[in-house]
Amino acid sequence: MPIALLLLLAAPAAQAAGPPASAEGLLGKGGVWVISSPDPDKVSARVQAAIDIPVSPEKVWRTMTDCKNSYKLITNLKSCKIVQGDMAKGWDVREHVTKGGLVPSMRIVFRSDYTAYTVIRFKLVEGDLKVEQGEWRLISLRNGTATRVVYDNRLALNLPVPQDLLANGLKKSTPKALTNLRDLCVAQAKG
């Protein structure tokens, strides 16, 4: 299964630090800032990333939180459903099931806690991952006409994958996942 799926499903409980000042030029030119490393827990890997999207935080939020869009963001997603809670009440529990391939089909159930248009914190509830915990932050830019999306995720598979390999996979796949998000947000804003 592409690691990009796992990136879009989740993000640590600690607030994402965000990109350093030296990344401003890269982000301003449409690039993606990303770092990844093995976590000190000796089990998971952590990825941190950011991208600027030229639409409002509200539009980015609506794109990210709509299950119907998950299929466009996560190419091997078989199903997305809300199984409990209500985003309007500040939380929900979602189930994602992926299509099998090189890695078997996976079922991932995670809880998201929402602060409208600014923060989504998520954590694994059950399923085929060992660890998934993170955060998406949406930061308003250019008087609300653009959004910086900051992503921070701790992730471990229930498969014997070395931390270094997982960290490298996250670093490689995260830019594509964030670029997919940006492209979908821009397309929906135009449509």
Question: What's the pLDDT tens digit per position in 85-120?
Answer: 998 899 999 999 988 776 778 999 999 999 999 999
What pTM did the predictor assign?
Answer: 0.88
What DSSP element (H or E) covers 187? helix 163-190
DSSP E strands, 41-127: 45-53, 77-86, 91-98, 107-115, 119-127
Q: What is the pLDDT of residue 27?
A: 96
Q: Which residue is associated with the tokens 């939020």?
A: 61
Q: Please state, in angstroms and as integers, the Cα–Cα distance from residue 109 to each residue in 60, 135, 139, 150, following that order.
A: 22, 16, 26, 22
Which amino acid is present at 128?
D
CATH number of 3-190: 3.30.530.20
pLDDT band for 48, please (50, 70, 90 cuts): very high
